Amino acid sequence: MGTNDSYGKELAFQADRRKACVELIKFVNDLWFDKSIELILFRNQLLDRNVSDIINLHEYAGKFVGKPINVFDTVEIARAISTSDLPPARIDLGKLTYEYQLEGNKYNDTLSFVVDKLKDAKNSPEIQPKDVVLYGFGRIGRLLARELMSKIGKGQQLRLKAIVTRDPNDESSLEKRASLLMYDSVHGDFHGSVNIDVENESLIINGSPVRMITANQPEDIDYTQYGIEDALIIDNTGVFKDEEALSRHLKSKGADKVLLTAPGKGVPNIVYGVNHDEYDVDTTKIWSAASCTTNAITPVLAAVESTLGVKKGHLETIHAYTNDQNLVDNKHKKYRRGRAAALNMVITETGAGSAVAKALPSLAGKLTSNAIRVPVPNGSLVVLNLEVEKATSVEEINEIMKKHALEGNLVEQIKYSISNELVSSDIVGTSAPSIYDSRATIVSPDGKNMVLYVWYDNEFGYSMQVVRLAKYIAQVRRYFYY
């Protein structure tokens, strides 16, 4: 009888927890679509999540901060946010809930706590939406289109207006572009709708038209004839890589700024969260989002450099194969890359070691680097072998990374993993560019040498960094609390 009674109580508890999850999902959706307020849980997306996702995210959150974060508490904080008069914002529900557990006794109720914590939101400047054009529509371009259209809300930030390719926009081409956007072998189906409008040469994404423009060179385009003004051009072709070539975009009527989704020469190379604020957004017209590997290692190196100091180091990136490799053995302009990508581990070069210095000048000349392409389509790993100025321990360096993942300027960039079972497929779809594997950390007996393992989704994680930088360049970053 006692066992049955306990089982019944557990079932009742789980039912109540699932009801609370449903209630939280409603708050998340209502706040986003009615007020452009985005709720996240320790940097994890809550929008478009199901009940099981919400439960799992709360369990991770509790382990991450070492204090139970349950959905009954987060839903109360979400309710308080929904009744507050707030401008468009991005708010970490996990951080607020954790702080309420620590400080809640100082307040009369959750509403007074939320009002006090978010009081600075009222001082945030008004945002003017920015038109966006994707120049190119490859792996990164399609992920950017998915993110921009699924998170468009009321269109108060970035508005994807057009996509430029070299293809003629006949029915067959539009159908193929729509299919590639809708279905993805790595990232799964797009959670939305994609249709075509042949007459207007457009993709209809989640009901909104996005004009497909055919062009062989950027300066030939007049964006204003498509109702596009002062646009941010995101170049993901990989063709234009230096200031002179990228400046051609600015000759297009209706173009305002350019963002390159690759390392650039003669232009600011930015790892958002590390050095984005070193350049004037009003006067700087051309930007680079650096590489996926540079975005993965720079936040972790910034955390180590600021706390322990880096004397020297070597990074080895174990990278998913990419489209520039051959599917079967064939001629290639670079050594080894001509061998079948899905069958071989391929040693090749990477400029990530020297590229870090563009974001962290104090590391100039201190790092060497190399790369191994491996037979997986996505999901990569960097092994950082560092000699540091100040002796440390596994516990201390892990605590340093955990602190940076919880608070400060790198909370969007570093995700702290506590899993003993983490493998490359697990990190696909992670929005942080750096996933710090706390269970794999090695420190030498004298504490002066360490080996850190940093995972990254070289497609999606990097694309999210591009979006963050794009919002900064376009000056449409909302008030945030995390």
pLDDT band at 218 (very low <50, low <70, confident <90, very high): very high
pLDDT band at 8 (very low <50, low <70, confident <90, very high): confident
Q: Which CATH architecture has domain 130-267?
A: 3-Layer(aba) Sandwich (3.40)
Residue 201 pLDDT > 60 = yes
Q: Which of 41, 57, 267, 292 is catalytic?
A: 292
Can you tell me the mean pLDDT for 274-291?
95
Does domain 292-458 fall into CATH 3.30.360.10?
yes
Tokens, residue 203:
């993709």
Residue ranges of the domains in the chain?
A: 3-123, 130-267, 292-458
228-256 confidence digits (pLDDT tens): 999 999 999 989 999 999 999 999 999 99
Can you tell me the mean pLDDT for 361-380?
95
pLDDT band at 4 (very low <50, low <70, confident <90, very high): low
Q: How high is the pLDDT of residue 197? A: 96
pTM for the model stands at: 0.91
Residue 1 pLDDT > 70 = no
High-pLDDT (> 70) share of the chain, %: 99
Is 21 noted as a catalytic residue in this protein?
A: no
Can you tell me the mean pLDDT for 252-271?
96
40-88 confidence digits (pLDDT tens): 998 888 988 999 999 999 988 888 887 788 999 999 999 999 999 898 8
Residue 3 pLDDT > 70 = no
Q: How high is the pLDDT of residue 153? A: 74
Q: How high is the pLDDT of residue 155? A: 67
Q: How high is the pLDDT of residue 2? A: 56
pLDDT band at 6 (very low <50, low <70, confident <90, very high): confident
